[in-house]
Amino acid sequence: MAFKSFNWKVMQNLQLSREDVLGSFASAITVFGIQLAMIVFVGSIMVGDSIPFEIVLPNSVIIMTARFICSILMHL
């Protein structure tokens, strides 16, 4: 929606108001900020010395399947 609202012709076709455009832009900026914060958090854990970072394979196929399904749902 944020991409469509920045194209003036599409904005007119969708009959979006200025408030709709600014709202979608604010939502896009908010999502970007949250993603940037998560990158910083994960990066600080990986680089920091307080907690050792290890990639561990799960003990069972059920846990691996649950992780796979969660990763797919998070990317939808």
pLDDT of residue 9: 76
Percent helix, strand, coil in the chain, to 5, is 70, 0, 30
3-state secondary structure of 15: coil
pLDDT 10s per residue in the chain (76 long)?
556 656 777 777 888 887 887 888 888 889 899 999 999 988 887 787 776 767 788 889 999 999 999 999 988 8
CA dist., res. 64 & res. 58, Å (int): 6
pLDDT of residue 61: 93
**pTM for this one?**
0.57
Q: Where are the domains of the chain?
A: 2-74
pLDDT of residue 12: 79
The alpha carbon of 45 is separated from its chain's Cα centroid by a whole number of angstroms, namely 19
Q: Which residues, including other chains, have CB under 8 Å from residue 22's CB and lie 6 or more apart?
A: none
